[in-house]
Chains A and B, each alone.
Chain A
Amino acid sequence: MHYVDEYRKKELILAVAGEIRNISKKEITLMEVCGGHTMAIHRFGLNALLPPNIRLLSGPGCPVCVSSQHFLDTAIAYSRIPGAIIATYGDLIRVPGSVTSLEKEKANGADIRIIWSVLEALELAKNNPDRPVFFPGIGFETTAPATAAAIVKAKNDNTRNFFVLSAHKVMPPVMKALVEEGVKIDGFIAPGHVTAITGTAIYDELAAVYGLGVVVSGFEPADMMQAILMLAVQLETGAPKVEVQYKRIVHPDGNKIARDLLAEVFELKDDRWRGLGTIHNSGLKIREDFAHFDAENNFSVLVPELPDPKGCICGSILRGTKTPNDCGLFATACTPSDPVGACMVSGEGTCATFYKYRS
């Protein structure tokens, strides 16, 4: 497969691993923020190729995992509105809410459809003009522009029965929050596809003020090994900065069209993150101009605040302070077929990844 196989060559990966071993002497902790990176590390067994002085930590970059239980309970409550259609990405369907899940509600008769693109949700709305179609929007700067585009299109086409429940989030505040909270990190393996939208300026403060290395990485094993090598060089030479490894996709200025769309449709709000609490200006709220398409603005449902499941340490795992192996439920009470916490459900969740690629 072009553009994939080239980055999975064993000789290339082993050569970079050798270079890392030659250069890296300090004890360093690197956090991969993105769930896609966590997947790649485990899928390709990259940990085994790194010297013992380099520690990798998984961060809060799985959109499903960081979405609060309250968000899910709200989506479930919408599914019970007479006539409602919930059009959702497949990842979300099995995530346990406080008492039920969208999958269980579907079996109870709710109309829940799995879609691959938000535009399919819009299409559903057009084909069912008498029914409200809800799209639970999750994800970071990578997926939020598509949601924004759908909302703009709904407005232009006058599709009045399309509603977004936005749990979209932005990356920089949570990265900063983790550092300020005292999670010990020397550098970030920064998310490639988020940066393709945002550009690299969002990380400047992390390097300049907090003295952290930041390398924006691709998702193939050779990409990740090269990003780790670049971070090792920065940290060994005492010159942390923002660099891009994933140059074939990421332009330092990002994607202006997507950013303009985001700014047109969304504004920042304080937002809740599972396990991390409320983080200032970390979520995306639909602007007043598009309020008609904001589900929360149009439908009020009563969703009680309930505590997260007992024994589940998803929060600490998302903060990078614990790993799945520290959890008493991991691989016993909590498995992909019977998940307790969100990190076990999403394909990009740290627990699901540890479970799938355990050895």
Chain B
Amino acid sequence: MIPREEKILLSHGNGGRMMHDLIGNLFIRHFGNTILDEQTDAAILPAESPFLAFTTDSFVIDPLFFPGGNIGKLAVCGTVNDLAVSGATPRYISVSFIIEEGFAMRELEMIVESLATEARHAQVTIVTGDTKVVNKGKCDKLFINTAGIGMFRKEDMLVGKALNINPGDAIIINGTIGDHGMAVMNARESFNFKSPVISDCASLNHLIRRMLEQCPGVKFMRDPTRGGVATVLNELAAKTGLGIELSEQALPVSKGVGAMCEILGFEPLHIANEGKVVVVVSEAESRHLLEIMKSHPLGTQSTVIGRIVRDHPMKVVLKTATGGKRIVDSLTGDPLPRIC
């Protein structure tokens, strides 16, 4: 039974009976599992590997609901993906809600429901959480903070560190770029573009697990969220001291995202993704890895977008469709605040 009040009241966060009811009737009902059901102050977790990956993230996206997801689903995907691209298997997450007084109970339930569904899908267990309610106007509707713990296989521990990257290595992405940022923008601003752009928001851990198990040569992975693919690759170039060459024609951009970027003057390479992974692999293994990625539903559109090169060290250069070349910088300024 969902709590009978239609709106969140300050009393829902005061530690008393109403908070107890909210936790029992909403959070435990959707998230329930043997660890959370204990309702201890701290979750006690079995250590399944000698090394753990630990991450935290906060979600302040506006609007809370967007085509392809909502803040609840996004909170799971964002946390899971940070662990997965580090080479870990995501296992446990915490979820804390900071809710503005007056927030609709029905919307909260929709968010909690979708958070629970995504956690089941990603096979992570929500083991602890917290609820705070703040006065009207003191936060914008709802913020979520998460933490996540993942377990490591020994052989996967270096995959986030960008070691052994060499000229000639291929750069692969698992599908179209810029979908999340443009979907949120379209939902937020009053553009009323008819072509629907849908966020790519998805938990990538199953895809990544398959990649790591079947292709030991994966050298680097990162999820290109805020700042987009351009920012991830500029960081990689700076870290390795090598250059990166991208091919504009090879960049997968959906028609809708391409058109929105064209109209608004954005660079798709700078737009955020929430269900994409950028991978570096040796040229020799790239074809094999592509096959593995394409065999997974989240990787059917995987493609090589560029290479590591010896030229122009620490710079990302795009070969344009018209035959020119230009430098692609990290994002400066923020065209779209609060997209995650």
Contact = CB atoms under 8 A, between A and B. Distances in A.
Interface string B117-152: 000000000000000000000000000000000000
Interface string B310-340: 0000000100111111110100110100000
Interface in A38-94: 42-46, 48, 90, 94
B253 to A, nearest CB: 10
B324 to A, nearest CB: 2
Contact of A347 (B265, B317, B321): B265
A25 interface: no
Contact of A357 (B255, B259, B326, B332): B326
Contact of B317 (A13, A43, A356, A359): A359
A1 B322 contact: no
Contacts of B335: 90
B189 to A, nearest CB: 6
Contacts of A94: 333
Interface in B242-276: 255, 258-259, 262, 265
Contact of A45 (B189, B190, B265, B325): B325
A13 B333 contact: no
A213 interface: no
A90 B194 CA distance: 23
Contacts of A1: 255, 258-259, 262
A3 B62 CA distance: 33
Given A120-B190, A356-B329, A14 B323 contact: yes
Contacts of A44: 320, 322, 324
A342 B127 CA distance: 51
A247 interface: no
Given A1-B258, A116-B189, A347-B265, A45 B333 contact: no
Nearest to B253: A1
A356 B318 CA distance: 12
A76 B115 CA distance: 43
Contacts, number: 52
Q: Number of contact residues on B: which range applies?
A: 20 to 34
Contacts of B321: 8, 10
Interface residues of A, number: 25
A69 to B, nearest CB: 20
Contact of B320 (A45, A356, A358): A45
Contact of B326 (A8, A43, A116, A336): A43
B255 A337 contact: no
Contact of B327 (A13, A335, A347, A359): A359
Nearest to B266: A347
Contact of A359 (B258, B323, B326): B326
A358 B327 CA distance: 6
Nearest to A12: B322
Contacts of B332: 335-337
Contacts of B326: 42-43, 45, 356-359
19 contacts: A1-B259, A1-B262, A8-B322, A43-B320, A43-B326, A44-B324, A45-B320, A45-B324, A90-B335, A116-B190, A116-B191, A120-B190, A221-B322, A336-B329, A337-B332, A337-B333, A358-B327, A359-B325, A359-B327
Interface of A: 1, 4, 8, 10, 13-14, 42-46, 48, 90, 94, 116, 120, 221, 335-337, 347, 356-359
Given A1-B262, A13-B322, A44-B324, 5 more contacts: A1-B259, A44-B322, A45-B322, A90-B335, A335-B332
